[in-house]
Amino acid sequence: MSVWPAWEVREGERATRWLHVRLAFGDGARIDALATVSEGCVCVEDVRARPALALEDLAVFADWIEGPLARACGAGTGPAGGDGAGTGAHRGRAERPRGPEGWRLVAWEYRAAQERGADPVLAVMSATGHSRRGALRLIGRARDAGLLSPRHARR
């Protein structure tokens, strides 16, 4: 992954920086983006990918660029500490616990979302980095392990 400055605008003590971001993968896929960084916030202005990104890949795009953008801005490494350039379908996804420990995380996220009135499936997707289908599979495994109540019977 490469990050290079496009331009910077200063207003008094505040500065807004625009950065070009390019992710090139071993399979020939490429993502180009323009991101702005201002007062510790990152906004993605434009994204172009070849081939087109799947929705689940677009959802984790921020994870892919977080660490390299932080380093480019002098803020050190991101939480994952990697460069975000993996080779799988979910190229930059951080490792999550698997098996019973992972199912407990899924159940906890699911119940927490229910309590705050949010969509529990989206909460599990966000916590695990999986697509909707993957999150539903994990929720099913947590149910099978007895960590979540059974689904309502269909009629």
In this prediction, residue 97 carries a pLDDT of 62
Q: Report pLDDT digits (tens) over 100-131.
A: 777 888 888 898 888 888 888 888 887 777 78
- The dihedral over CA atoms of 20, 71, 86, 79, expressed in degrees to the nearest 10, equals -130
Q: Do 69 and 3 contact (CB within 8 A), yes or no?
A: yes
pLDDT exceeds 70 at position 83: no
Whole-number Å distance between alpha carbons of 115 and 133: 22
In this prediction, residue 5 carries a pLDDT of 80
In this prediction, residue 139 carries a pLDDT of 92
Helix axes 132-144, 120-128, angle to 10 degrees: 100
Whole-number Å distance between alpha carbons of 61 and 71: 17
CA 41 from chain centre, in angstroms, equals 16
pLDDT exceeds 80 at position 140: yes
Higher pLDDT, 150 or 76: 150
> What's the mean pLDDT in 70-96?
46
In this prediction, residue 79 carries a pLDDT of 38
Q: Report pLDDT digits (tens) over 7-43.
A: 888 888 888 888 888 887 777 778 888 888 877 777 8
Q: Report pLDDT digits (tens) over 64-79.
A: 777 777 676 665 433 3
Query: pLDDT grade, residue 96 (50/70/90)?
Result: low
Q: Do 34 and 46 contact (CB within 8 A), yes or no?
A: yes
Whole-number Å distance between alpha carbons of 84 and 143: 32
